[in-house]
Amino acid sequence: MANLISRVQETSRSMKDLEGLKATEEEAKQFETRADELSDLAGLIQASATLIGDFHGKGIVVETPKAHARQLRLELEAMQQAYAADRKSILGPSSEWRFTIKPRLQRTANSSNQQSLEAWKTHLAEIRPSSDTGLLRLLSRSEAFQARSRKISELLAEFDLLAIRLPSSMEELERPSRLAEELSVLTMELPGDIPEPVRRLFQSMDDGSATAAQLTGDTMQWLLENKMLSDVRVSWRRN
Q: Tell me the domain boundaries of the chain.
A: 2-122, 133-188, 196-231
The mean-pLDDT minimum among 34-38, 69-73, 139-143, 209-213 falls in 69-73
Task: Please tell me the pTM assigned to this model.
Answer: 0.71
pLDDT at 109: 80
Better-predicted residue by pLDDT, 84 or 120: 120
Q: How far is CA 20 from CA 17, 23, 29, 89, in A?
A: 9, 9, 16, 16
Q: With bands split at pLDDT 50, 70 and 90, how would you rate the model's confidence at 192?
A: low
For helices 2-16 and 66-85, the axis angle rounded to 10 degrees is 20
Q: What is the mean pLDDT of the chain?
A: 79
The mean-pLDDT minimum among 47-51, 64-68, 149-153, 192-196 falls in 64-68
| Per-residue pLDDT at 196 exceeds 70 | yes
| Per-residue pLDDT at 101 exceeds 80 | no
pLDDT at 120: 96
In whole angstroms, what is the distance from residue 140 CA to residue 161 CA? 22
